[in-house]
Amino acid sequence: MVDKEEYRRRIILTASKIFSHYGFRKTTMEEISRALKKGKSSIYYYFGSKEEIFEAVVLYEANQLRMRLTTAIKEVDSPTDKLRNYIYIRMREFAKLSNYYNAVFDKNLDHYDFIENIRSRYDREELAILRLLVYVGNSRGVFAVKDSEYTAMAIQTMLKGMEVPLFWRKRDLDINSRLEAILNLIFNGILGKS
Amino acid sequence: MVDKEEYRRRIILTASKIFSHYGFRKTTMEEISRALKKGKSSIYYYFGSKEEIFEAVVLYEANQLRMRLTTAIKEVDSPTDKLRNYIYIRMREFAKLSNYYNAVFDKNLDHYDFIENIRSRYDREELAILRLLVYVGNSRGVFAVKDSEYTAMAIQTMLKGMEVPLFWRKRDLDINSRLEAILNLIFNGILGKS
DNA sequence: CGAATTATCGACCCGTTTGTTCTATGCAAA
DNA sequence: TTTGCATAGAACAAACGGGTCGATAATTCG
C-alpha cells in the first residue's frame, strides 16, 4: 500500500456499508477488519478509534449527499424542475441515511454534538441552495415571491418536518403521496393561483 | 392480556421484524422487550430463551411463505400461470428471507439442524406442489412431459440453484432477467418447440 | 373483601464480546 | 544490516447480554 490515504479511503467505503446496515453500536471492529481481510488491530494503524472511523464515514456520506443534490439540480433547467428534483433527491437520500441517525441515537449521545455540527453546516448550505433556487426562479418570472430568504426558510422548515416521521415511524408507503402533496403545496403556493 | 397465546404471537411479530433486520446474533432481548414496552425478564414468562423465540419466528415465517405460495397459485387458472406465479413468489419471498439465513450462518451452527428440519420439510412440500402443477398441466394438454415426478424434481433443482447467488452475492438487479430466463427455459422445455 | 394466580419488573450473575493497546514480526528500500 | 512502514496475534479491562430469582403489582376468583 503505497498511499496511506488511499487505504483510509478503502476502510471508509467498507465501514460505510456495514454501519449503514447495522448502525454504530452493532458494528464491530472485527467485522470491519474481516471485510477488509485484515487483522483487527491493523485498522488502528489508519484510524485512532471506532468513533474516528464513524466520523469519517458520516463526513463521507455527507459529501456524497451534497454531490448528488448538486448534480440533481444541474441536470434540469427550469426552476420548478430544479426545486422538485432537489426535494425528491433530498428526501430519498435522507431516508437512506436514516440508519446513521438511528445509529447515533442508539444509546450514548457522545457523537451527538459532532453529528450536530455536520447537521447545522448542512442546514446553512441547504438554505443557501434553496434561496438561490427561489431567487433564480423569481427573476425568471416563474415564481412570484416577495422575499427569497424567508420563502427558502419556509421550504426548509417543511422539509425538516418531513424527516421526523421518515426516521421514526414505520416506513409506510404513503411517503410518496405525502411528498407529492408537499410538492404540490409548495408549487401552488409559489406559483400563485393555478 | 387474557390470552397468553395471543401475547406470544405479539412477541413473535415484533421479534420477527428485528431479527429480519439484524439477524439472530445482533438482536438482543433488551431490544425485543423494549419494542414491546415490557421489561426484559417479562419475555421469559412467555418464552424460555432467545433461541425459542427465534424458532417460533422462523416457523411463523415459514407458514407465511406457505400461505403466500398457495394463494399465488390459486388466484390464476392456467397451468403456465400457476407455475410462473409460484416461481415468482417463491424467489421474491426467499430473497426477503435471506436475512434469516444470514442470521443462522452468523457463527454458531447450533440452530443449523433445526433450520434444516424446516428446510427439508419445505422441500418435500414444494416437490409435491410442483409435481401436482406439472401433472395437472400435463393432463390438461398444456404440458408435454413424460414423468411429472422427475420433471418436478428438475424444476426444484433449478430453483435451488438460484438461491445461492441470491443469498450470497450482492443483490444486483439482473435477478429479474435471470429469473425470466429460467422461466423461459422451463416453459420452453416443457412446452416443447415454441 | 381476601386469597390465589397471573403477569411484570429490577437487580443481579457471569460467561462472552469488543474496543483498544502492546509487542513481535514480516518486508521493502537504502 | 539497518530503518521504517505495515500487519497481526495476544492480552486486557470494560461493557454487554442472556438468563435467573425474588419481590411486587395486577387480575381473577371464591
Cβ of residue A1 lies below 7 Å from strand D:
yes
Q: Which residue has the higher pLDDT, B47 or B164?
A: B47
Q: pLDDT at position A16, please?
A: 94
Q: pLDDT at position A104, please?
A: 54
**Are A111 and A51 contacting, i.e. CB atoms less than 8 angstroms apart?**
yes
| B44, pLDDT greater than 90 | yes
Nearest CA in chain A to B25: A26
Q: pLDDT at position A184, please?
A: 66
Low-confidence ranges of chain A (pLDDT < 70): 1-2, 98-115, 163-185, 188-194
pLDDT digits (tens, 9 = 90+) for A122-147: 888 998 999 999 899 888 888 887 77
Mutation for testing the A interface, residue in B26, B34, B99, B106 having most A CBs under 10 Å: B26
| B169, pLDDT greater than 70 | no
Q: Tell me the average pLDDT across B47-64.
A: 92
CA atoms of B119 and A94, how far apart (whole Å): 38
Q: Tell me the average pLDDT across B46-59.
A: 93
List C-alpha distances in Å: B152 to A194, B16, B77, B131: 61, 32, 19, 5
**Are B162 and B182 contacting, i.e. CB atoms less than 8 angstroms apart?**
yes
CA of A186 to nearest chain B CA: how many angstroms apart?
Answer: 35
| B176, pLDDT greater than 80 | no
pTM of the prediction? Answer: 0.78
Q: pLDDT at position B146, please?
A: 75
